[in-house]
Amino acid sequence: MSKKIFSKSKISFFVVIAVILLLIFFNFKGWLGIPKNIIYQASSPFLKSFQWLSSKTVAGVKIFTSIKDLMVENSNLKQENQKLWQENSDLKEVARENQDLRQRLALGQIQGRTFILSKIIGFNPQLGQFFLIDKGKSDGVSEGLAVVTADNFLIGKVVEVEQYNAKVLLISDSDSMVNAITQDSRVSGIVKGTTGLGLDMEMIPINKEIKTGETVLTSGRNDNFPAGLIIGKISDVILKETDIFQKAAIQPAANFSELESVFVIK
């Protein structure tokens, strides 16, 4: 009897394995688009409701936990505001000057791009660093497009598109690589994901000087990302005399775990 049960469970074990392998093969062939869309459509109301509910709960909890720091933060923000006000006024002058120079050089306007507003409806850093967004092929989203926040902070790129949703690979994923440049010293390198939600800028020539606190931007070279998107700030420079390249740890500009909506740049 026990032998019979064992063989029965053994058969069901292998049948299920075969079914899973078959599903992997179907997905590889691209035949699972319709079932995946059905699953997405069925889960979408729950995903959206839970996302909304959890963001509100987190915001509520944060109010209680952050009261202590609010006074200090307020004072710091006031100082920063004054500084930014001055910088803003300087930048306006620079922008005006830039416009004049462009007209003079007859370079024309920078190529126009469309921003597709998308809501993040799923995120799990443990199962691959992806966001699930609520825009897909039907909204004009395609693979390889850059994804940013409203502040132009780079989040990642679209890696998989279905009819009504898409998966965005975060720049903090170990599989992600972005060509980058430091804003002040104009040193090029490659930004890669590291442990957790961290970033590293690699392939920086040893003879180039970079400073902590410097902003790192996309360089727009050899990838689909437009130039000038903000990646983060250099938090540490790792320099080893034996290496031919130096490395910098980057503090990402965007807080990945608190995002609710993003823009896909088309």
Partner 1 sequence: MKIILIILASIIIVSLQLTTLARLSLFNVVPNLILALIVAWAIYQKDQKHSWLILIPAVLLDSLIGRPFGLITLAIWLAFSFVGWLGKFLFKQSGFIPVLVLSLSGVVFYELIYAGLIRLAQLLNLNGAKILWADFYLFAPRAILYNCILCLIAFWLIKKALPTFNKLK
Q: Which residues contact partner 1 (rule: CB under 8 A)?
A: 5, 9, 12-13, 16-17, 19-21, 23-24, 27, 32, 35-36, 39-40, 42-43, 46-47, 49-51, 53-54, 57-58, 121-128, 130, 132, 159-160, 167, 169, 173-175, 194-197, 257
Question: Using alpha carbons only, how large is the chain's radius of gyration in Å?
Answer: 24
CB of 131 to partner 1, least distance (A): 9
CB of 141 to partner 1, least distance (A): 16
Nearest to residue 178, comparing CAs of 164, 165, 193? 193
Percent helix, strand, coil in the chain, to 5, is: 40, 30, 30
Angle made by CA atoms 123, 126, 130, in degrees to the nearest 5: 40
Burial 155-174 (b: 16+ CB within 10 A, else e): bbbbbebbebbbbbbbbbbe
Q: Which is nearer to partner 1, 173 or 214 (CB)?
A: 173
Contact yes or no for 122/47 (Cβ under 8 A): yes
Amino acid 148 reads: V
Q: Which is nearer to partner 1, 18 or 91 (CB)?
A: 18
Q: Which is nearer to partner 1, 35 or 140 (CB)?
A: 35
Contact yes or no for 148/154 (Cβ under 8 A): yes
CB of 105 to partner 1, least distance (A): 42
Q: Which is nearer to partner 1, 26 or 115 (CB)?
A: 26
Separation of CA 27 from chain center = 25
Angle made by CA atoms 55, 149, 253, in degrees to the nearest 5: 95
Q: Which is nearer to partner 1, 61 or 91 (CB)?
A: 61
Q: Which is nearer to partner 1, 160 or 188 (CB)?
A: 160
Calpha distance 117→260 (Å, rounded): 11
CB of 190 to partner 1, least distance (A): 15
Q: Which is nearer to partner 1, 187 or 247 (CB)?
A: 247
CB of 20 to partner 1, least distance (A): 5
CB of 47 to partner 1, least distance (A): 5
CB of 58 to partner 1, least distance (A): 6
Nearest to residue 199, comparing CAs of 183, 213, 178, 229? 178
